[in-house]
Amino acid sequence: MKTIMHKESENNSELSNMFKMETSGKKWRISRLMTILIASTLLVGCQNQSNSIVSSFSSEPVSSSKEIDMANFPNYVGDIHSLSYVYGAKQMTDPYWWGNVIYNESALMISTGSEIAARLAYVPTRIISVRDYTLKKEYVQGTDYTISGNKLLWKEGSGITYWTQDQIHDGDTE
């Protein structure tokens, strides 16, 4: 009985060593692959991707020297003034950088004391629709909000919900 157990334990340790060697090889391959992916992502992220980039500290666009013809992009809309609000499967799944229209950008109105505003990723050419989180209630430009650069500014008497700095830091929404 002892001999059989001893052999089983020898087999177990042999299997354990084989597993350790196999695992360490996989770990090495995975870590090498991750290093390559991170390095390539960083290199890709350093390239200029757009001719109008909005700084996170300013509402003014920063221009790059390279012009990009948006008409070559798959979701480019030539006549943006004729657009009406649509939000189907295509708008939900296609990345916004495939075209010149952003659908349902999330924005949070925050009261800073001097203003109540929501910052957008880019300076809009035109706002098609501003809606609540359910996408059912639509707010009216000029009545509920105005646009200034890349900000939506809350108007007095608007039904748009906003948070104060204290509510954000305390987590209290009432």
Domain boundaries, the chain: 1-47, 52-166
The answer to whether 128 and 85 have CB atoms below 8 angstroms apart is yes
Question: What is the structure's pLDDT at 28?
Answer: 55
Rounded CA separation 165/162 (Å)? 10
Q: Give the total residue count for the chain.
A: 174
Question: What is the structure's pLDDT at 109?
Answer: 93
Structure tokens at 27: 């770990």
- Label residue 166 by pLDDT band (50, 70, 90): confident
SS3 138: strand
- Label residue 47 by pLDDT band (50, 70, 90): very low
Cα separations in angstroms, 8 against 23, 60, 104, 128: 22, 72, 62, 72
Helices then strands, each counted (H, E), the chain? 3, 9
Structure tokens at 162: 């906003």
Tens of pLDDT along 103-124? 889 999 999 889 999 999 999 9
In whole numbers, what is the pLDDT of the chain averaged over residues? 73
Distance of CA 141 to the CA centre of its chain: 25
